[in-house]
Structure 1
């Protein structure tokens, strides 16, 4: 990764060794160039050296050119093309009311809401697949594709940060098969557009099924997926479900101390993560069940079937490309070195 500075009219210095190392070495070369001149002047006054003005200029120029090369002069050009990894990751996040329960942990013992754990999981997924493409959907009463396939990782992270659970007034309970139709459409369209890509699914949910309707199988997705993970957030002990009003975050809802009531008992309802449902879905997509908790996160859960291939795509977002231009300096330095070597041979012969 090059650190760019002093950009002006498309020209920049971008040290290949980085600014700390490249800058220090360039500074040393410039100091040596100054020392070369100072020594020549002092020796000339004392007539203690046969070094010529031409030799001093030549050696000073070599040091200056070396210093500039260490700073790696480059040109910056705008481009809309980008090389991306041929891995397409579909992220589906549960946003039903139970995802507001504050019984989850993610890489630490701090208790957080399940939706917060899901947000952290999405960030780890995007970090685990650099230069891949992502599609993001949420599901509650139904599945909704919020972000079509894109290599724009910040867009996926921003989407995760804005995820909110459904308001209690519109919640119709949890049905784990709610995202199947949208997942099928999304996976099929990706497979048709990029038949050689590796498609990986991450289904992030608490695994709770409260609907009385029998859950449909996820096995129809296998024809489009190369791999998949069901990610369990929450605890098997469970927690009380807060009442969610429109526009109220899960954290604020928990602080309000108002809970969804179980109609059978008249007490606050308890929602528990259902690991068995998540294991069953993982089996249906020939994938892996991954629970996240205080000691386990998704940072290292990268699919072994991720593609090693790359393809070029054109994006609407303009980016810059930094191209090093050191060959003219290399030619000049080579000429000066050849001159120095020739002068040294000539001097050596005269001294024989």
Structure 2
């Protein structure tokens, strides 16, 4: 079902201002003519000029027809986001676009929101990794689902942690990326791996080079600081800030003192190199707001979704035709008057 609405292409502030000015001009034109201040202006000239102002004002408001549709144009770029949720991601030593210090996981959440805005109308898949990697959101064009997923992320409970291992998401990433590549061989696939780069497991880390054949581009995104901070104790069933308890810390068994975790820049750079991508480090001045890959696709496809959305179709052409006729009439009338005055 369709309905008529106004949807200014320049936005309501600019479109509304233009419409208001044109309406004011139209009123002034009528008042001047009624008061005899229009000189030798005829009634027809006054009507014509008033209509020109009103039509320009109406065009600024962009009359549109709203109709419900399940079709959607989707960019041929598939963005896979993997977020570290190990206990060290609860350390409060990160900054993201401001001087405020937040947990590493909070910085990661803000990064995910910036990515969905940077890749508007693309498709996304999301996974988290701690002791293991889990695909939480299969490939979908619904960026709201990714933002909702990110908002629910909490650090892994200390009781299930067995030491941070950066290759925990590798098996799930291989499976996910392989299935996306096979289903969409023509698409550009971009991976964002968001982590503090900490590797505390005694096992040797596997290389991420196995992902190269499935990717067009990759980014290893570092959150946290090299100075580091104390690791909060995270208990099952606790729902404090990011799931952490207050004023309780993970103890270093060697010293008996609260353990300190720091972002490992070298590991993050190594991950980026293995994937054939780029290392990025978020901070007070650096975010992912402009982190769109140069390898993103410039091609689009139309898909059918289960979610119904509203499509606005501007209906400007009748007004444009009327305005063209009136302007031509105004110019012609002016030319005739000029000849008479000669």
Q: TM-score range by the shorter chain?
A: 0.7 to 0.9
Contact 1:75 1:324 in 2 (8 A): yes
Aligned residue number for residue 255 of structure 2: 265
How is 1:113-152 mapped onto 2 (pairs within 5 angstroms)?
113-152=103-142
1:92 to partner: Cα distance: 0.4
User: Does the CA contact (< 8 Å) of 1:230 and 1:287 recur in 2?
Assistant: yes
Q: What is the CA distance between 1:343 and its match in structure 2? A: 5.3
How many equivalent residue pairs? 342
Q: CA RMSD in A?
A: 2.9
Aligned counterparts, 1:245-264, within 5 A: 245-249=235-239, 251=241, 256-264=246-254
Q: Which residue of 2 aligns with 1:199?
A: 189
Contact map agreement 2:70 2:308 (CA 8 A) in 1: yes
Pick one of 327, 333, 338 that aligns with 2:323: 333
Query: Displacement, 1:58?
Result: 4.1
- Listed as ranges, the gaps of 5+ residues in structure 2 are none
Match of 1:96 among 86, 90, 93: 86
1:67 and 1:170, CA in 2 relative to 1: closer, same or farther beyond 3 A?
Answer: same
Match of 1:165 in 2: 155
Which protein shows a greater Rg? 1
Q: Deviations over 1:262-307 (max 9, x none)?
A: 3333333332322222222222111122233344333333322222
Q: How does the TM-score come out when normalised to structure 2?
A: 0.87
**8 Å contact from structure 2 (residues 220, 279) kept in 1:** yes
In the TM superposition, residue 49 of structure 1 has moved relative to its aligned partner by 4.6
Q: Distance in 2 between matches of 1:295 and 1:50?
A: 61
For 1:27, the equivalent position in structure 2 comes to 20
Return closer, same or farther for 1:252/1:90 CA change in 2, 3 Å cut-off: closer
- Render the CA deviation track for 1:161-186: whole Å, top value 9, x for unaligned: 11101112222222211111111111
With normalisation by structure 1, the TM-score equals: 0.85
What per-residue deviation string (whole Å, max 9, x for no partner) do you get for residues 142-198 of structure 1? 111111122222222221111101112222222211111111111112112221221
3-state DSSP class of the match of 1:228? strand
Pair 333,185 (structure 1): closer, same or farther in 2 beyond 3 Å: same
Distance, in Å, in 2 between the alignment partners of 1:313 and 1:148 is: 16
> 2:154–2:242: 8 Å Cα contact kept in structure 1?
no
Match of 2:158, SS?
A: coil
Where in structure 1 are there 5+ consecutive unaligned residues?
1-7
**Alignment partner for residue 102 of structure 2, among 98, 105, 112?**
112
